[in-house]
Amino acid sequence: MTAPSLFGAVLRHHKNRVLTAALRGHGLRFASFVRQEGYIGGQWVPAASGKLFPVTNPANGEVVGNVADMGEQDAQAAIDAAYNAFQTWHKTTAKERSDLLRKWYNLVQEHKEDLAHLMVLESGKPLVEARGEIAYGSAFLEWFSEEARRIYGEVVPSPATSKEIIFVRHPIGVASMITPWNFPNAMITRKAGAALAAGCTCVVKPAEDTPFSALALAELAEKAGIPPGVVNVVTASHDNTPAVGNLMCSSPKVAGVFFTGSTRVGKLLYRQCAQGVKRIGLELGGNAPFIVFDSANVKNAVAGLMLAKFRNTGQTCISANRVLVQEGVHDQFLAALKEAVEQRVVGDGLKDGVTVGPLINATQLKRVEKIVQETVDCGAHVEMGGSVHSAGECFFQPTILTGVTEDMCCFKEEIFGPVVAIKKFKTEEEAIKIANATEHGLASYFYSQDVSQVWRVARSLEADHEQVQDQRTIEGCSVYIQA
C-alpha cells in the first residue's frame, strides 16, 4: 500500500471510529457497520469533491454524523461498477444468488436492533415502528432469496408443428434505485432484493435525510459476500441530488429505474427515462380515502384509522388522508377517535412509550402547519391539536379537524403528517364520489359489516383498495376481510 492510500485508509478509519463512538452513545451496541463514505465497486470511498454533508436527528436537531456528498462523477463511477459487475453476476446460478441473499438476510437479523436504533436517529420514527420496518424489510431479502430459485421459463404451444416457442427470462442489467426517507430500510431491500435475485446489479441513491440505513445495508451486503459492484450506494445532499438522479435515469448503462417518493419527482424521473425508453417502476404519492359507513364496527374503525393515519407520524404514501364518516355514526366515531388520539405519546422515538415521533425536517413541519392553517381559515374546526408540539421544533400535535369540505387543501393535498381531516357524508354514493375525486389512487380504506356493501364499494373505488370488514390485523396482507 502506498503512503497516500495508507493515509487515506487511516483517515477513513479515524472518521468511522469517531462516528461509531457518537452513535454508540445513543444506544447502539455493535456499530461497526456504520459508515460515512459511499460504497462503489466494493470499496468505501469519499466523494470525489471531498465534501461531506450532515445528517441530523429530527427529534433534537443534533448531528448524527456526516456522509459523503457525492456528485455526477461519483454516480458515474457507481454505474460503471454496476455495469462491469453485471457481466459476471448475471451468469451466476440461481442457487448462488439465493445463498448470498440468505446470508444478507441473516446478517440483517443479527443486527436488527442496531439497525432499528440507527433508523430512529436519522428518521425520528418511534423505536417500535423502526423494529417493525427492519422485520418486514429483511423479509424481502428472505422472500427473494427463495424466489431466486423459482425464476422459471415457459413453453408456449406453437401454431406450427415444426416450431417450438420457449421463453427464457434474463436480467435486464443495471437497475437505478432512488429510495425515500420514510422507509429507509425496507424500500431498499424490496428493490435490491428483487434485482439481485433476478441477476441484475444496482445503484442505490438513498434520501439525503436517511443515508446511514442504506450504508449499513451495504456494509452487511459486503459481509454477506455479495461481489463488488453488485450493490452500490451513492449518497448526495439536497443540492447534488438532481444531477445524480438525472444521470441515474439517463445513463445508457442503466436498464431500469425504480423510485419511491413524491408524484412531482416521479413525473420528472419519468421524463428523464423517456429518452432512453427505460423500464421504470414508480410508487408515488397518495390521497387515500378512509370511509366509515353506518354499518361499521366503530371500535374497529377507530383502531384501523390509528394505524392508517399515525404510522410513521402520518408520513407514508398510503396514510389515510381523507376521512369520510357517515352521519349515523359520525359523533360516536369522533368521540372514540378523540379518546384514542389522546393516548398517543409524542416525543423522541428512543424513549419508552413514545408512539408519535417528529416530522422528518423543519420544511415538512412548515408544510403541515400551512395545510392545517389554510384548512381552518376556510372554516374547518379544530377538535384537538392544530399546532406545533412543545416536544421540539419538528414535532406537530396529533390533530383532528372536522367540518372539512372537498375544496379544502387538506382534501386536495397529501398531508404527510399527524392530522386527521374528517368530512361527514350521507349516502354510499356520495362517499364513493368523493373518494374517487383525486388523481392519486394509491390506496383506499373502508369499514362496513354489510357484506353486500363491502363488495359494491370494493368494485367502485378507483384505487388499489384495502377492503375492511371488522378488521383484524394480519401483517403482510393488503386485503382484510372477516366473514
- The three-point CA angle 64-183-415 to 5° equals 100
Query: DSSP letters along 126-164, please?
Result: -HHHHHHHHHHHHHHHHHHHHHGGG---EEE--SSTT--
Q: Measured between alpha carbons, how far is residue 414 from residues 288, 313, 319, 367, 421 in Å?
A: 9, 13, 9, 10, 11
Largest CA distance in the chain: 78
What would the grid cell of residue 338 be? 378523540
Cell numbers 374546526 correspond to what residue? Answer: 381
Side-chain half-sphere of 131: how many Cα atoms within 13 Å? 7
Q: Identify the active-site residue in 283, 374, 383, 413.
A: 283
Say which amino acid occupies 222.
E
Cα–Cα distance between 226 and 197 in angstroms, integer?
12
- How far apart are alpha carbons 277 and 273 in whole angstroms? 6
Q: Catalytic site residue 283? A: yes
Q: Would you state the cell numbers that stand for residue 353, as one nine-digit string? A: 412509550
Q: Are 423 and 434 in contact (CB under 8 A)?
A: yes
Whole-number Å distance between alpha carbons of 460 and 441: 12
* C-alpha span between 298 and 337 (Å, rounded): 9
> 38 forms bridges with which residues in the sheet?
45
Rounded to an integer, what distance in angstroms lies between the CA atom of residue 468 and that of residue 483?
Answer: 10
Given a contact cutoff of 8 angstroms between Cβ atoms, the answer to whether 457 and 432 are in contact is yes
Nearest to 361 by CA among 27, 55, 67: 55
Cβ–Cβ contacts within 10 Å for residue 295, how many? 18
H or E stretch covering 419: strand 419-425
| Residues taking part in catalysis | 283
